[in-house]
Each structure stands twice: as structure tokens, then as C-alpha cells.
């Protein structure tokens, strides 16, 4: 039954805001049918065009959907945990995790101890020595570092930025295929995911242009290198093309997640350094120094810094100074820097070995940087299950995708070159079997 009493207003903005409040308060539940345009217009004493414009805004924000003769209904709340990976079966060679090789991670920083507390950490949330080191760390890669802040990992920082900058229903442009935890996060915040196709140079400009023009995107989140799962990295030309699209959009926040510092196997061509008005370059050390170092740094414009730090102050307050001291000790240790450099070279060699071995067997794969290789396939389940029978476990691409084609992700961080050859042979055999069974 159509619900009318929950919606009021005399302008399109007032009507859409009234409906949104009703949805938020539970007066309009998922699946509830909104009144037909003309009926609501008559009740409110406005033109049908005014109501139609309000409904269009509600659709744009993902609050309602149109079901043809079924009318306009309140959208179902999406599940926030639908993209979690399945449990790895016992006895299989696990190439689905996306994690670094433990042998290429440094030991815990020696000599780090708890610091004496002489005043509130909220008054001085960042260690000055680490803040200075971070500025140099970022500026060496061409990232402006006049304003920096810290957080408990990349997703913690990105989530805080999106929550203070956007409101439920706003559109966020994300890479497709892209990082599955980010896709979960955007959904959990009540934001609308707008997929942007990628290739080996990162986001495709024509796809981002369409997202900005047609979907009213308020934020763009991308990886400048080691894009997960596709392995792309921004070239200077691609960076400049994307910069031309976002430079004039003063109401769009650009967030780039440089999560694979040191081991990406590709130079940084930062979109944030190319002139967007609102931006944040996020850098983490979990892939290069250790997954349990839940710390991230960000350089950003002054407004973004103020909004992020204001929300941080009201929640966790600061990042542990003991954690900051550990990161500082590792970042400034010559032995650790040498190990990170060697790790990047090893990851590049292992990734390249699999891409080359697959190419020799006529299988196209993508992986110009990082620790993952993306292989487009016609049937993800057939490939995953076929490789499982041969002792391999790879990640089905479904949890990384929104609108892009199927594929599988293979983590090559600890894959030896001999294993790469054997895996490529098994992969080609599985594809042949799938083609014979399903016709490709």
C-alpha cells in the first residue's frame, strides 16, 4: 500500500528531504511504495513536475528504486558483509589472501618502549619526529606535505573522510574491479557506489568523466599503483587526464590509497599532486612493514585535514604513540629500508614470472605492479574449482566486481618461479576443460 502521510513539502528539495527523513526514522521501511507522482502532487498542492524531480533526487541518492508497474519503492538496505572471502580449504596452496611474504617483512623495531605521558595525547596527537619523517617521505614522491595527519590504517582514514564529507545516498566513484573491503565500507556508510572501469594504467578517463557528469559523484577513491586486484598503476599521461576531470570539481573529494609503498614495483604518479581542490593522499605500511602495524599517514588540503582531525578527536582521539614510535624506528632504519627495496624487486620478479608463463600459454593476465595478478575468465566458478582439484586456491573475482567482467585474482607474493610455470600450465588446462564443457 502506498504511504502518503510521511511525505510533505512544497518544493522538490523539501519533498525529497521529507521522504529521506521518513526512511531514516523507519516510517518508510524497505519495500514501501511511494505514492504515484500525480496523486502526491494533488495532495501537496504542487505540480507533478515538482514531485517527479523529488523522486529523481531520491533515486539518484539510492534511497528509492523504480520497479516499472510496481511503482517507486524504498530501496532494500544492502548487506555490508557480502564480499568476505570464503574459508580456504585445507591442503591447498593458498594464493588468494593478498598478503605479503612473511620472509620479506622486518622484525619488530628494537628498543621501542612506552613513552612517558606528560600531557594529554589529544593535545599533541602526533609525534613531531614521525611527522617530520612523514613529510620527507611523501615529498620525495612529489606529494605536497604541508598538512599531514595519522590514522589507524587506510580504511579507518578513508571511512572517516567519507563520513564527514558526505551524507547517506551520496555517490562515491570506485575502481571496478576494486578493493573488496572498500566496497564494503562504502555500502556500510550508506553511500552509493559508482563503478569506474580500470585498465593497466588505472581508472579510465571516459568512465570517470561519465561518473562525474551523470552520477553526481561527490568523492573519488583510487589507488595510484598496485591497484587491487587488477595490478594497474597510473602513468603520467593517465594521471594528467584524470586530473583534468577533477581539477575543476571543487565539491569532489579525491582520495588515493597508496597502500603498497615500497613494494609496488612502480613509481608514484600522484593524482593528488596534480591540483584537485579537495584531496587526500593516504599511505600505509601494512604490506611493506607488517599487517599488524595499523597505522596510516595522509597528506591533504587544509579543509580536509581539519574535518578529519576534528572527527578523530571526538572518537579515538589519537593514534597510539607507542605505535607511532615503532613506525618511526622502522622507517628510519637503514636495514629495514634495504629489506623493503629487496622485497619490491622480489615481488616484481614473481608477479612477472606468472604473467609471462600465462602469456606463453595464450592466457591474458594483468599485473603491472603490486602483489596480485588479475586473469579475466568466462566462468569464475569453473576456474576456481578446476584449480582446486589441482591443489591451488585462488580468489574468485565476484567480490571485487561491481559491473566489470568476471576474473580471478592470484596473489603472487610468495609464489616461486617454478610454481608459476606449473600454475600457468594447470590454468591453461582448466580453461580448456571449461571451454569443452561450457562452450567457452
**CATH 1.10.10.10 is right for the domain spanning 12-74:** yes
Q: What is the distance between the alpha carbons of residues 182 and 133, in angstroms, rounded to a whole number?
A: 28
* Contact assessment for residue 423 and residue 354, using Cβ atoms and an 8 Å cutoff: yes
**CATH 3.40.640.10 is right for the domain spanning 121-332:** yes
Q: What is the distance between the alpha carbons of residues 328 and 323, in angstroms, rounded to a whole number?
A: 9
For residue 194, what are the CA distances in angstroms to 129, 209, 240, 358?
39, 12, 22, 32
Q: What is the distance between the alpha carbons of residues 38 and 294, in angstroms, rounded to a whole number?
A: 54
Which residues, in sequence order, are CB contacts of 111 under 8 Å at separation 6+?
329
Question: Which residue, 276, 283, 280, is CA-closest to 137?
Answer: 283
> Where do the structural domains in the chain lie, given as residue ranges?
12-74, 93-102+336-439, 121-332
Which residues, in sequence order, are CB contacts of 430 under 8 Å at separation 6+?
382, 383, 386, 387, 390
Residue 116 confidence (pLDDT): 59
Residue 113 confidence (pLDDT): 66
Long-range CB contacts (within 8 A, 24+) of 184-193: 184/80, 184/81, 184/82, 184/83, 184/84, 185/155, 185/158, 185/159, 186/162, 186/221, 187/78, 187/79, 187/80, 188/80, 189/159, 189/162, 189/163, 191/162, 191/166, 192/61, 192/62, 193/402
283 - beta bridge partners?
258, 297
Q: What is the distance between the alpha carbons of residues 366 and 362, in angstroms, rounded to a whole number?
A: 13
Which residue ranges of the chain lie beneath pLDDT 50?
1-2, 78-81, 438, 440
Which residues, in sequence order, are CB contacts of 327 under 8 Å at separation 6+?
130, 285, 289, 293, 295
Residue 100 confidence (pLDDT): 96
Q: Say what the pTM is.
A: 0.81
Residue 339 corresponds to which cell in the numbers above? Answer: 629489506
The CATH number that domain 93-102+336-439 falls under is 3.90.1150.10
Which residues, in sequence order, are CB contacts of 241 under 8 Å at separation 6+?
205
Report how many helices (DSSP H) and strands (DSSP E) the chain contains, helices first: 13, 15
Question: Which residue, 270, 271, 257, 274, is CA-closest to 370?
Answer: 257
Question: Which residue, 422, 402, 399, 423, is CA-closest to 411?
Answer: 423
Burial label, 128 (beta-carbon count in 10 A; 0-12, 13-18, 19+): exposed
Residue 1 confidence (pLDDT): 42
* Contact assessment for residue 161 and residue 357, using Cβ atoms and an 8 Å cutoff: no
Amino acid at each position: 500500500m502506498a504511504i502518503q502521510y510521511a511525505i510533505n513539502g512544497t518544493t522538490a528539495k523539501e519533498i525529497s528531504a521529507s521522504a529521506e527523513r521518513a526512511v531514516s526514522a523507519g516510517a518508510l521501511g524497505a519495500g514501501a511504495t511511494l505514492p504515484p507522482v500525480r496523486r502526491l502532487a494533488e495532495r501537496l498542492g504542487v505540480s507533478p513536475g515538482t514531485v517527479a524531480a523529488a523522486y529523481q533526487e531520491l533515486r539518484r541518492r539510492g534511497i528509492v528504486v523504480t520497479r516499472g508497474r510496481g511503482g517507486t519503492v524504498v530501496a532494500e538496505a544492502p548487506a555490508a558483509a557480502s564480499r568476505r572471502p570464503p574459508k580456504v580449504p585445507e591442503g591447498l596452496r593458498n594464493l588468494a589472501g593478498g598478503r605479503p611474504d612473511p620472509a620479506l617483512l622486518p622484525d619488530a623495531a628494537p628498543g621501542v618502549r612506552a613513552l612517558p605521558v606528560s600531557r594529554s595525547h589529544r593535545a599533541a596527537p602526533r609525534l613531531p619526529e614521525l611527522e617530520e619523517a612523514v613529510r620527507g617521505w611523501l615529498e620525495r614522491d612529489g606529494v605536497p606535505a604541508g598538512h599531514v595527519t595519522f590514522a589507524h590504517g587506510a580504511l579507518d582514514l578513508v571511512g572517516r573522510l567519507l563520513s564527514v564529507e558526505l551524507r547517506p545516498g551520496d555517490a562515491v566513484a570506485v575502481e571496478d574491479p576494486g578493493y573488496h573491503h572498500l566496497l564494503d565500507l562504502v555500502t556500510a556508510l550508506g553511500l552509493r557506489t559508482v563503478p569506474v572501469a580500470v585498465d593497466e594504467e588505472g581508472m579510465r578517463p571516459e568512465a570517470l568523466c561519465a561518473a562525474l557528469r551523470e552520477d553526481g559523484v561527490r568523492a573519488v577513491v583510487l589507488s595510484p599503483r598496485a591497484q587491487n586486484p587488477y595490478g594497474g598503476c597510473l602513468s603520467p599521461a593517465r594521471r594528467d587526464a584524470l586530473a583534468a576531470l577533477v581539477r575543476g570539481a571543487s565539491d569532489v573529494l579525491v582520495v588515493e590509497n597508496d597502500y603498497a609503498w615500497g613494494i609496488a614495483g612502480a613509481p608514484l604518479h600522484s593524482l593528488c599532486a596534480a591540483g584537485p581542490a579537495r584531496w587526500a593522499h593516504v599511505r600505509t605500511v601494512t604490506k611493506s612493514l607488517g599487517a599488524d602495524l595499523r597505522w596510516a599517514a595522509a597528506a591533504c588540503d587544509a579543509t580536509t585535514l581539519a574535518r578529519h582531525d576534528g572527527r578523530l578527536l571526538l572518537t579515538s582521539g589519537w593514534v597510539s604513540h607507542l605505535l607511532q614510535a615503532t613506525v618511526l624506528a622502522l622507517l628510519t632504519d637503514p636495514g629495514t629500508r634495504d629489506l623493503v627495496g629487496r622485497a619490491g624487486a622480489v615481488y616484481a620478479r614473481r608477479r612477472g614470472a606468472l604473467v609471462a608463463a600465462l602469456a606463453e600459454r595464450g592466457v591474458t593476465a594483468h599485473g603491472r605492479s603490486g602483489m596480485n595478478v588479475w586473469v579475466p575468465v568466462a566462468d569464475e566458478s569453473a576456474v576456481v574449482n578446476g584449480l582446486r582439484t589441482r591443489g591451488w586456491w585462488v580468489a574468485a573475482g565476484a567480490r571485487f566486481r561491481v559491473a566489470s567482467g568476471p576474473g580471478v585474482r592470484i596473489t603472487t607474493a610468495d609464489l616461486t618461479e617454478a610454481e608459476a610455470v606449473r600454475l600457468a600450465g594447470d590454468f591453461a588446462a582448466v580453461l580448456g576443460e571449461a571451454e569443452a564443457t561450457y562452450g567457452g
